[in-house]
Amino acid sequence: MPNQPSAVETDYRETRPVSAGEHKQPQKQSESAPEAKNSSLASVARMAFSGRVEAKPSATALSVRDFSSWYGSFQALHHIDLEVPHNRVTALIGPSGCGKSTFLRWVNRMNDLIPGARCAGDMSLLGADLMSRDIDAVDLRRRVGMVFQKPNPFPKSIYDNIAFGPRLHYKLSKAETDDLVESSLRAAALWDEVKDRLKQSALGLSGGQQQRLCIARAIALSPDVLLMDEPCSALDPKATIRIEDLIVELRKNFTILIVTHNMQQAARVSDQTAFFYEGKLIEFDDTINIFTNPKSTQTEDYVTGRFG
C-alpha cells in the first residue's frame, strides 16, 4: 500500500487504497514548491490525509451559490460559492471577523434570531432551498445539528439532555429512548464514562465531557449536516484531541462543517477546507492542497502564519 499510516498514528484511522490519479501523491511534490509545502502544517496535513478515504465525494450535501448576507447595513458575506461534500469534514478557516461563523449560522438559520440579519443568494441542503419562505426553520434544525463554541449542556440530567431533541420531534417509547441515548453516547465516545450516572445533572461533567455530551445531543437526531462552531476552543489540549478523534469517526455518518481558528486542527481533521477573508471565500480545496499548495497568495500568507 503506498500510504502506510505512520507509527504515531493510532489504529482506528482508516486506511484504504488510493484511487489512481485522483489526487496528487505527496511524494510527488517538487522541491521548489513554495514555503507552504514544507511548513509543519503541511506535514500535519499530509499525515492526516494519508490515512483517509481519497475517493472523490459522490454527493454534495450543501450547495451555496452567490450567497451574500448583511447585518443591517454591514455586509458580512460577499457572493459565496461553495459545494460542501456529503459525509466529509469541511473546515472553514480564516482570521477573526471574516464571516465563517456567520456563514455557519445561516445553514441552520440561527441568524433568524438576530434582528436585522438578511441574506441573498441560494443555499440548498440536499436539494431543498433553505432561503425560501416556505422552509420550516424548526424542521430544518432537526436536520442540521449545531455544536457551539462553549459547551452548553441543559440543566437537566445527562439522559434528558440527549433525549431532549428526539422527544421534541418523535414519539418514542422508553426502551427506544434508552437505546437512542446509549447509542448516541457511544458514538460520542462518552458512554463508558457516564453510563453509571445518566440521571445525574449534566452540569457535573468536565468541560471536555460536556462538549462531547453536546455532540451526542446533536447526533441523537441523526442530522444530515452537523455544524460545529469552534468546538474545541474552550477546551484543554487533551479534551481537544478526543473531540478531534470523535469528529473523524463521525465523518462516516454525517456531513460535518467545522469552523476553526486552529489551523492544525483543520489540517488534522478536515477533508476539505474553505478559507474566508473579510466575508469573501478566497479559496476552497482539499485540505492537503490548501496547506501544501495553496493557489492564492492570501491563502498562503495565512496558512504560513504571516497574518492571522
Partner 1 sequence: MIGVSSIKSATTVPVASRNRRNRMFLYTCLAFTSVSVLCLGVLLLSIFLNGTKHLFDFQITVLPHSANLVDSRLDTAKRQVKLSFVEERARTVGIETDRDLTGASVAALGADLLLRFADGSEERIATAERLVRSELDIEARRVRLTYSVPREETVGLPGNDPLEGATLKETPAGRVVLSYPDGKEQVVASRESAAGRVTMLGDLSLGSVGEFIGGSPSVDPQKAGFESPLVGTIWLLCVCAIAAVPIGIGTAVFLEEFKPTNRGLIVLHRVVATNIRNLAGVPSVVYGLIGLTVFARMFGLLGTPLDYQSFEEYKLSDGTRVVGITTDIQSDVYTLEGPFIGESRLERTAYEEIARFPDSDEVIEVTGTVEFTDDYEFRFATEQIGSFTLSPFDILSGEMIEEEPFAPRPFQATFRLEGQARYVVETVRNGRVFVPREMIRDAEQDIDKVRIRNHIFELKDGRRVVGKIPQLSDGTITVRKDLRSEPVTFSVDDIAERPNGKLAYSTKNMITILDEDHPLHIRLPMGASVLAGGLTLMLVILPVVIIASQEALRAVPDTLRQGALALGASKWQMVRTMTLPSAIPGILTGCILAMSRAIGEAAPILIIGGVTFVTFTPDNLMSGFAAMPLQIYDWLRQPDMEFQQVAASGIIVLMTVLLAFNAVAIIIRQKLQKPLN
Q: For partner 1, which is the closer residue by CB, 108 or 240?
A: 108
Least distance in angstroms from the C-beta of 165 to partner 1: 4
Instruction: Choose the binding region for partner 1 from 56-64, 85-93, 110-118, 124-132 (rule: CB under 8 A).
Output: 110-118
Residue from 52, 141, 242, 268 touching partner 1 (CB under 8 A): that is 141
* Residues constituting the chain: 308
Instruction: Choose the binding region for partner 1 from 56-64, 91-99, 141-149, 245-253 (rule: CB under 8 A).
Output: 141-149
How many helices, marked H, and strands, marked E, lie in the chain? 12, 10
CA distance 192 to 185: 8
Burial 108-133 (b: 16+ CB within 10 A, else e): bbbbeeeeebebebebbbeeeebeee
| Residue 214 touches partner 1, criterion: CB under 8 A | yes
| Residue 221 touches partner 1, criterion: CB under 8 A | yes
Which of 194, 205, 208 has the alpha carbon at shortest distance from 242? 208
| Residue 150 touches partner 1, criterion: CB under 8 A | yes
| Residue 142 touches partner 1, criterion: CB under 8 A | yes
Which of 265, 270, 308 has the alpha carbon at shortest distance from 289? 270
Q: How many residues bind partner 1 (CB under 8 A)?
A: 28
Instruction: Choose the binding region for partner 1 from 8-16, 215-223, 273-281, 299-307 (rule: CB under 8 A).
Output: 215-223
| Residue 115 touches partner 1, criterion: CB under 8 A | yes
Task: For residue 100, count CB atoms less than 10 angstroms from its CB and return exposed for 0-12, middle for 13-18, buried for 19 or more.
Answer: buried
CA distance 162 to 180: 8
Least distance in angstroms from the C-beta of 152 to partner 1: 4
3-state class (DSSP) for residue 19: coil
C-alpha cell of residue 199 = 440521571
| Residue 218 touches partner 1, criterion: CB under 8 A | yes
| Residue 146 touches partner 1, criterion: CB under 8 A | yes
Contacting residues toward partner 1, per CB under 8 A: 108, 110, 113, 115-116, 138-142, 145-146, 148, 150, 152-155, 164-165, 168-169, 201, 203, 214, 217-218, 221
